[in-house]
Structure 1
Amino acid sequence: MVLKRILGQGLEEECDGSSAPSESKRSRLVFAGMREFMGAQCMQRHLSKLEPFLRRVVQEEVQNALNHHVRSAPGLPTTTLSQPTITKHYQLLFHNTLPHTIYTGSRIEAEGGVPVQIMIVDSCSKSIISSGPLASTKIEILALDGDFGGENEWSEKYFVDNIVRERDGKRPLLTGELTISLSKGVGYVNDATFTDNSSWLRSRKFRLGARVCPSKLMEGRVREAVTEAFLVKDHRGESYRKHHPPSLNDEVWRLEKVGKDGAFHKRLAKNEIYTVQDFLRNLIMDPSKLRCGAWCSSHL
């Protein structure tokens, strides 16, 4: 205690043989000690209230100094450090689904033979971004490994690591119009083709990917779009491809379980059933003609 320390000093002086202080001097020492003691007590009592104020003042001065330094530094943005930039999250999406099998040399189309549609949306609301710079940005179409495993979320590095390039000595894996421009947040893949099959990959499948082309005007990352995995077969097998759904003018062997130039196909031709329309007509008008052979039992 402060008071004890001052009184103790007076006692030490007496013990040392020095002349005893007068009564008035002793009183002055006592009163000085009491004032110092009371000042220390007051400071301790109000220190907890002063600390937040002092901390805030120091923080504001440091912040002002940093802001002044940033504004005066050449080539740096003049945004205020105390106001953090809030970045919205956007992503690309393939709107329609690709077929399970695509053939080399054929235009990549979605199911139903329609163009593949891609759009840019708000990650939270999934609403299309129809205005602003992102609504007309350029998109790059890429081939990805079928084993791409980031169905829910992935990093930009993981996406890049799964891009598949052509094999040595082969043509570019994807050809055609591979850079498209969005219009009001929507774009179409109208002319893209695979030049090689997917049998040489471990997964034996590809995926189609899309990412925003780099731009100086764009801030932050727009998450890439990825389709489901699909097979890519050589175009020589396209002549034997089944149609889903088949059209009336398709040859009858386009139906499932009817092989081209197979036994069923030959028997159907012998009964003058050449097209899908012929098959349906006989199924409705003369089903006995179809039931006469075991070859058609699987279609009834």
Structure 2
Amino acid sequence: MALSKHLASFTTQCEKQVGSAIRSLRLEFKNKLSLPIFTGSRIEGENSSAISVALVDAFTGEVITIGPVSSLKVEMVVLHGDFEVGEDGNWTADEFKNYIVKERDGKRSLLTGDVFVDLKGGIGVVGELIFTDNSSWTRSRKFRLGARIADGHCNGIRIREAKTEPFMVKDHRGELYKKHYPPSLDDEVWRLEKIGKDGAFHKRLSLSNINTVKEFLMLFWRDSSRLRNILGSGMSARMWEVTVDHARTCFLGDEVHVYYPNGQRKTGFVFNVVGEALGTYSEQQFIPLTDLQNSAKIEALTLVKQASDHWNDVVTYEKDEILGTSLPEPSISFYGTENLFSSFPSPIKNDAFGFAHSGILSPDVFPMSIRDFDTFPHDSHSASLFDECSSQAFISEENFRYLPTHDLISGSPADLLVKVGHTKPRRIWKTLSVVFMFIRRIVITMKTGAQNLD
């Protein structure tokens, strides 16, 4: 009996020793860090979560929730960003220690706050942890955050340390002075590119009561020359372009304004919240500024600038109510074999005011005239037909036999683009709509084995 008890005790001790020898534990960060990180600011995980570290079984990946090791004290340290030793996780405790970054001479501890974390059930939640110095002075210009236990061992069991991905730590003033992408209308004007906080441009703008991005844009659209003069010759043409482009990335909201001069409700002049003229609005039809004749365009630009002085004659609409009444620009590919009509609007649809109209070549939507097609060769037949388009609801296939097509099927798609390249976008759309109808007729004729296009 004594011998049996001795052998049983000996076996149990051997099993424990073997188990300790083969067991492998490691620390790991359970979430990624929220970047960028600035000095003086709390280090957080993604989505503003607290950083957590866990003790897991290296073989199974399961958290060790029971036993003495599940309640260990973990130390948070700073590592060099170029710590790439043992990418398979088999670095030694000494190798890990050699990559720990110490503070610069005369500086306080590089990492302050809750640098020690107690594990509870194998998981520890990091409290307030703050960098006191940036990473630009290190050899890699980056840090890693590390987690370890003293000596890297517990009761003879090796516990591998954890490390994060490398990241930069920037000075806190970088956060205070950083630009916004995109800026908001209520942002202070120095949030724009090329305008430094308390710099010369910022001071010039402040003296002219231009303090926000919205005020900057409003003056830009009302009197860009004055805004340019306020900034002065110190702002180069390139800097001016960058600043304005950045400002124009603002989200302008879902409202537009329509100015009806003298209180009449016939023709209104549409502009957005910063005073940018967008076009005209008449008989429930929006016409973009780019589609207006020069004289009408000048009138729109002039009257929109006067709108702020006659606000009683301005009506505010939801953007979709006004801009939604115009047809969307089609996405047309000139190459490949896709159906040329696949991106056309549906034949009949209701606009934002509930009126049904044709989506393709209706004179109500695409009022056509000969000048709209002056980039294409046409004879008396085509001129006659184009005149008919202004009064007909649709171009019937019967009409195609009067149209010249030999010029449309010769050359490459690039040649076609050259022919219409100098026209305005909506005019190109109108023109190409008819061209595609020509092509459709040609394809139909070829499929039926016709010998000529007449």
TM category, shorter: 0.5 to 0.7
Comparing both chains, which one has the higher relative contact order based on Cα–Cα distances under 8 Å and sequence gaps of 6 or more? 1
> Which of 157, 161, 169 in structure 2 is aligned with 1:220?
157
Q: Residues 283 and 290 of structure 1 are in contact (CA less than 8 Å); yes or no, is this contact kept in structure 2? A: no
- The letter of the residue matching 1:152 is D
Q: Residues 34 and 48 of structure 2 are in contact (CA less than 8 Å); yes or no, is this contact kept in structure 1? A: no
User: Structure 2 CA distance, aligned partners of 1:90 and 1:107?
Assistant: 29
Quick check: 163-172 or 147-156, which moved more? 147-156
Q: Specify the alignment match of 1:120 in structure 2.
A: 55
Could you tell me how far 1:258 is from its partner in structure 2?
Answer: 9.1
- The superposition leaves residues 133-184 of structure 1 with CA deviations (integer Å, 9 ceiling, x where unpaired) of 1111100000000001033322222111100001111111111111110111
Matches within 5 A, 1:30-49: none
Calculate percent identity across the aligned residue pairs. 39
5+ unaligned residues in a row in structure 2: which ranges? 1-5, 203-209, 219-249, 257-270, 278-454
Q: Residues 93 and 226 of structure 1 are in contact (CA less than 8 Å); yes or no, is this contact kept in structure 2? A: yes
Q: Residues 74 and 117 of structure 2 are in contact (CA less than 8 Å); yes or no, is this contact kept in structure 1? A: yes
User: Secondary structure in 2 aligned to 1:129?
Assistant: coil
Could you tell me how far 1:221 is from its partner in structure 2?
Answer: 1.0
User: Structure 1 residues 81 and 135, CA, compared in 2 at 3 Å: closer, same or farther?
Assistant: closer
> Which of 152, 160, 164 in structure 1 is aligned with 2:88?
152
User: Secondary structure in 1 aligned to 2:144?
Assistant: strand
User: Structure 1 residues 240 and 195, CA, compared in 2 at 3 Å: closer, same or farther?
Assistant: same
Q: Specify the alignment match of 1:197 in structure 2.
A: 134
Matches within 5 A, 1:55-204: 84-87=17-20, 88-150=23-85, 151-153=87-89, 154-204=91-141
Q: Residues 243 and 254 of structure 1 are in contact (CA less than 8 Å); yes or no, is this contact kept in structure 2? A: no
User: Structure 2 CA distance, aligned partners of 1:250 and 1:219?
Assistant: 60
The TM-score normalised by the length of structure 2 is 0.40
> Which of 212, 215, 223 in structure 2 is aligned with 1:269?
215
Could you tell me how far 1:284 is from its partner in structure 2?
Answer: 2.6
The TM-score normalised by the length of structure 1 is 0.59
Runs of 4+ off more than 6 Å: 243-246, 252-260, 262-265
User: Secondary structure in 2 aligned to 1:109?
Assistant: coil
* Count, aligned residues: 214
Larger radius of gyration, structure 1 or 2?
Answer: 1
User: Secondary structure in 2 aligned to 1:169?
Assistant: coil
Matches within 5 A, 1:3-42: none
User: Secondary structure in 1 aligned to 2:45?
Assistant: coil
User: Structure 2 CA distance, aligned partners of 1:202 and 1:123?
Assistant: 31
User: Structure 2 CA distance, aligned partners of 1:95 and 1:245?
Assistant: 32
Quick check: 224-233 or 284-293, which moved more? 284-293
User: Structure 1 residues 126 and 80, CA, compared in 2 at 3 Å: closer, same or farther?
Assistant: closer
- The superposition leaves residues 249-292 of structure 1 with CA deviations (integer Å, 9 ceiling, x where unpaired) of 984779896966579985433458xxxxxx54x33324944694
User: Structure 1 residues 197 and 216, CA, compared in 2 at 3 Å: closer, same or farther?
Assistant: closer
Q: Residues 39 and 171 of structure 2 are in contact (CA less than 8 Å); yes or no, is this contact kept in structure 1? A: yes
User: Structure 1 residues 95 and 215, CA, compared in 2 at 3 Å: closer, same or farther?
Assistant: closer
Root mean square deviation of aligned Cα: 4.0
Q: Residues 198 and 233 of structure 1 are in contact (CA less than 8 Å); yes or no, is this contact kept in structure 2? A: yes
User: Structure 2 CA distance, aligned partners of 1:241 and 1:257?
Assistant: 10
User: Structure 2 CA distance, aligned partners of 1:242 and 1:127?
Assistant: 43
Quick check: 135-144 or 167-176, which moved more? 167-176
2:155 corresponds to 1:232: no
Q: Specify the alignment match of 1:25 in structure 2.
A: none
